[in-house]
Each structure stands twice: as structure tokens, then as C-alpha cells.
Structure 1
Amino acid sequence: MVRRHELMDAQWRKIEPLLPGNGKPGGQWTDHRRVINGVLFRARTGVPWPDLPERYGPWQTVYERHRRWSGDGTWKAILQELQIEADAGDPDGTLARQAERREWAVNIDSTSCRAHQHAAGAPRRPPADHPQKGAGRVRKQMGEALGRSRGGLTSKVHLLSDDRARPLHWLTSPGQRGDSPMFAPVLDGLRIRRRGAGRPRSRPDRVRGDKAYSSRDNRAYLRRRGIKATIAQPDDQRAHRMRRGQAGGRPPAFDKAQYRRRNAVERCVNKWKQFRAVATRYDKRDYIFNGTLTVTAIVIWLRDTVQEPSETA
């Protein structure tokens, strides 16, 4: 019997071939489904790992596998495979439908996640198997993506979504980090791999964003890459341009009809925050929190692309 928050049979069949150890002899990986359902139960309810129901097995096994797959990229590889299938022409895929419209548009926004007191206190020196050990200067500056803002200790998720409110790519940062400085890094990380040969799709036709992303540098970045911008302009920037007269230049192009479709990223955030371990961060390490974000993103994609056959069919 499939319980609440657990994978349906069709959803499990979708991801089962993508899991490590599939088809290999030995019994150490035979409980994948039970462990994944335990990870999803914790993500949905936000309970501490030791409080997982006994039906999911030892909580140490569930936590350790989630930690391992968050670090080695297993969760990320499953999500990428779902995106590849949509881009390859899955009739239920957003990217395929966008290709029919001859325009691939993405929506950008950010959301703050309040950090629980248990999320603080991670050792300053990361463990040997930390996936960001020895990473670049930008990631080192981010640390464990925890910072102080008006809401207290928070993390911020900067994300891109498609028009069906599904997460495509995101970065985490401390809660006080501004939205505009993360605009280019988030877009630079967008990679939708292709089935077979060919470079990943990394340059959308259009980017939609709210007033927080309206800056001269961001608009110049989009022009250099040949990407259309649908970004609202705040009142102070508009007034400053008008005060300069002809020296202020022309106002940036703005399509109200396109901007209305930006609500897809807000709906994506609403879907994400149905999971309490996303709405409130409980993970000390940033890479484990990103693993929680990824496994919940997988669920969002599965719910959109996989339909369980009805009993009457």
C-alpha cells in the first residue's frame, strides 16, 4: 500500500533504472524504494531523522544514503535525467512544448528559508568527503549558505523555473544576499543536457524577473548573450532616467503580457515549500540542504510528468 508522501508505482518505475547499484548482485541496495520514501517523509513533514517511522528501516541508513547521494550528485543526476527526457520530446514535457512555441523562456526569483536552530553550528572545517571542499572563491564566501537577515538566521534560494512551475536550476546563499548579484551566476549554471551528442542547452530565449533584477549590468549581460529581457523597472530608476532627459536614453522594452507569466516561478516556490524541510532549513551542511531541495524537485517533476493509471482503466 502506497502511503501519503510516498512514490507511486509509476513514479518509482520512472526513477528505478537511474539509481546506483541497479542490477548489480548483492543485497545492499535492495531497499532503495523504502529509503527514498523515508527521505520524502522527512522532507514533507520536517521530523528529526531519529523520529522516522520504523517502516522505513533504521533512520541512520536513510540519513546516510541521503547524505551520500547529496554529496556524490546522485539526486542531481536523477533530476537531470527527467529534464533530458522532457527536452528530448516527451509530450508531457515543458521544454518540448516551449520548443513548439519557438521560444524557451525561464523565470527567475528568490525565496528565503528560515533556518532552524539545529541548522547552525556546523564545524568551520568541512569533512573530507564534503563535495565543496576546495571549491572556488565564490562558494567559499557563501560558506554553508546561512546568514542573518530581518527574519533571523536564514538561507536564500535563487531559482529558475519553467512555465509549468518546475525548478530548472538554483543556487543557495546566505539570507542577507541580494537578488541582483546572483542573477548572472544562476543563469550561468543553467544546463539542460541533450539526449546523445550535442552541447547542453544553456541560453534561453527570454528571462522574466521582477524589479529586484532590474540593473544596468544585468540587462547588459542579457544583451551580450542575446537573451530577451522581461524585467520590471522600479520607480526610482524610471524617475532617474526621466530627470536626465535625452541623456537618460530610451526606456527598456517591457511586455506586460509576458510579465504576467512570471508567476510560474512563484507557483514553483509554493510547490517547493509544501515540503517543511524546504520551508524551514534543518540541515547544517549546505550540500545536504541542496540534496533536500533536489529530491523535492524530483517529486515536483514526477508529479507533473508521470500519471498513475486509474483503477478503472
Structure 2
Amino acid sequence: MVRSDLSDAQWARLEPHLPKNVGRGGRWKCHRKVINGILFRQRTGIPWRDLPMRFGKWKTCYDRHRRWSADGTWEKVLRAVQADADVEGRIDWSMVGIDSTTCRAHQHAAGARSRPSRISRKLTGPAQHSRDEALGRSRGGLTTKIHLAADGGCRPLAVLITPGQWGDAPQMIPVLERVRVPRPGGGHPRTRPDHVSGDKAYSSRRNRHYLRRRQIKHTIPEPRNQRANRQHRGSQGGRPTGFNKSLYKRRNEVERTVNALKASRAVATRYDKRAYVFHGTVTLAAIRLWLRS
């Protein structure tokens, strides 16, 4: 057993939410060995072909990770694990932080063919096919940005990937709308946190109006230029935004979540060509954080 392998306790919490054996020949046998291989590659960032033989054929690990990233299996598992934590009262809804981080893309992550593959044509939602493959160009090269919402326990509630040059403020609403924790006992999934915090990059009239409409308290500092523009407009500029410094100190929780995600080398540096595969890689890293909590 190596560091990346699932412990018995973690496997007991994960196994009930995995797809069952279907089809002829036992298509989904050896879930634990294959997932351990995927986690090993995620932690080390090695090429798929260099996986140790103890995990079986490298192509089995790669194909399963790619298929589960494409059909939304990793997303379903993440929500199921979150639902279990919510039932046990382990989700801190009192403060949900929003933040983003930029990941350098390896040179092998570029060059995906522009025509979507047979699998990526069927994708919907956050992992749907896009021509840019969530790769942005900057002075430093190709980059991808990960936007996430994290609870007070430093665990991701929702993730979204975009090209590296995309701004943070326009992505706050899409990230919050992906927060959906099911209720096993029945009823609508929980989607609304008690409080949301973010840095100056998320300050905009559109975001504040969205949070007020959903009756979500928020702590987002106002940049100087926005404050000066509001004061220049006088009464038409609206009321000053409220800001609580003591609550803003909890913003370090989402920053620690980002650091925990990027402890996986396959997340800190993007090696996947397809955006939906990298989205699955980030989602699996989020699942691992929930299993460890």
C-alpha cells in the first residue's frame, strides 16, 4: 500500500456510490485497484503508460477515468459523498468561500484535434465540449483556471474550469449554481449557503444583486475604483457595501482548499488534452478531500 491508495475506511465510504457490474464479462471488476491506479497517477503526475504493473493495464485505468469523466460519474460520486457528509453534519454552511487558481498546462496538453470525439459530442453541463478545451494563452504559456466554492471545512463544494485568461467575477454565479448537495431523505438539494466570501475580484453589481436576490449574506471588499465611481454618482450610486473584517479572515479556508487540491501534481499542472478529462481529474481530487475529512 502506498500513500495514494484508498484506506479501508475510505473505500467503505466510496464503494456504495460506484457503478455496479454491468454487461457481459464483468466489465467493472476490480474497482479499487483501478481507482488506486488513477489516484497514483493523479498524485505523481506521471504519464499513463508509466503506471506500475500492480495496478493492472494502464489503458484500463485511463479508459475508466476518461469514461467516468465524460458520463458524469465522478460528479455523481462527489455529490453522493457530500450528501453523506451533510447527513452527518460535517458540512460547514456558515461560510462558503469562492476563489480561483491558475494551473500551468504541460506542452502535451495542447494539440487536441478541433473536431470533437464521439464521446465528447455527447457531453452536457460543465464538462461539455468546447473548442478552446479550457486552454488560455498568456505570456507564461498555456494556462487553465480552476474556479471553486469551498465550505468552512476546506473541502470543495463545486468546481469549474475555464481558460486561464477568463476573469473571476463572471464565474462566481456559475460556480454557486453548481453547489447541489442532495438530501438522501428526500426533498430538494441544498444549494444556498448561509454566507459567501470572496476577494475584490468578485466585486460587481451583478454578483451582489444575485446574492441579495437569493438572500445570501456576503463579505466581498469593494475595490477603490468601484467605491470612487459610486461616490461620484452620488445618490444614484447606491448605498455603501457592508464589509466585516473579522468574517473576511475566514477567506483563508478556501485558499487552503486550493492548496490541498494542488497537492496533486496532475491538478497543479494540467497534462490532459481534453477539458472534460481534466475536469474529472479535479473532481476526483475533490472526492479524495471529502473521503479524508
TM-score w.r.t. structure 2 length?
A: 0.93
Residues 71 and 131, structure 1, Cα contact 8 Å, conserved in 2: no
Structure 2 unmatched ranges of 5 or more: none
2:251 and 2:142 mapped to 1: Cα distance? 28
Q: Distance in 1 between matches of 2:171 and 2:200?
A: 14
SS at match of 2:120: coil
Q: How far does residue 4 in structure 1 lie from its aligned partner after superposition?
A: 1.7
Corresponding position of 1:125 = 115
Match of 1:309 in 2: none
Contact 1:109–1:158 (CA<8 Å) still a contact in 2?
Answer: yes
Go from structure 1 to structure 2 and tell me whether the alpha carbon gap of 1:17 and 1:24 turns closer, same or farther (over 3 Å shift).
Answer: farther
Preserved contact between residue 6 and residue 36 of structure 2 (Cα < 8 Å): yes
Say if 2:105 is the partner of 1:106.
no
* Corresponding position: 1:235 with 2:224: yes
For residue 289 of structure 1, the aligned residue among 256, 278, 286 is 278
Unpaired runs of 5+ in structure 1? 99-103, 305-313
State how far apart, in whole Å, the 2-side matches of 1:225 and 1:277 are.
36
Give the Cα separation in 1 of the matches to 2:21 and 2:45: 29
Query: Counterpart in 1 of 2:66?
Result: 67
- Deviations 1:54-75 (CA, angstroms, capped at 9, x unpaired): 1111111110111111112221
2:21, 2:27 within 8 Å by CA — same for their partners in 1?
no
Change (3 A) 1:199 1:142: farther
Match of 2:51?
Answer: 52
**Counterpart code for 1:130:** S
The answer to whether the aligner puts 1:262 opposite 2:251 as a matched pair is: yes
Deviations 1:181-224 (A, max 9, x none): 11111112221111132111112222100000111111111111
Q: Distance in 2 between matches of 1:28 and 1:239?
A: 62
Match of 2:29 in 1: 30
The amino acid of 1:94's aligned partner reads: I
| Partner secondary structure for residue 261 of structure 1 | helix
Q: 1:206 aligns with which of 191, 195, 218?
A: 195
Q: For residue 106 of structure 2, what is the aligned residue in structure 1?
A: 116
Give the counterpart letter for 1:165 in structure 2: C
Contact 1:142 1:173 in 2 (8 A): no
Letter in 2 for 1:198: G
2:173 equivalent to 1:184: yes
1:84 aligns with 2:87: no
> Relative to 1, partners in 2 of residues 1:80 and 1:127: Cα closer, same or farther, differing over 3 Å?
same
Q: Distance in 1 between matches of 2:190 and 2:286?
A: 19
CA distance, structure 1, for counterparts of residue 128 and residue 29 of structure 2: 36
Give the conservation status (yes or no) of the 8 Å contact 1:131–1:287: no
Partner in structure 2 of residue 274 of structure 1 = 263
SS in 2 for 1:262: helix
Paired residue type of 1:168: L
Change over 3 Å in CA distance of 1:178–1:245 after alignment to 2? same
Q: Percent identity?
A: 57
Post-superposition offset of 1:247: 4.3
Relative to structure 2, which stretch is displaced further, 119-128 or 15-24? 15-24
Report the CA distance shift for 1:129/1:277 in structure 2 as closer, same or farther (over 3 A).
same
User: Residue 20 of structure 1 corresponds to which residue in structure 2?
Assistant: 19
Aligned position for 1:151: 140
Contact persistence 1:16–1:22 (CA under 8 A): no
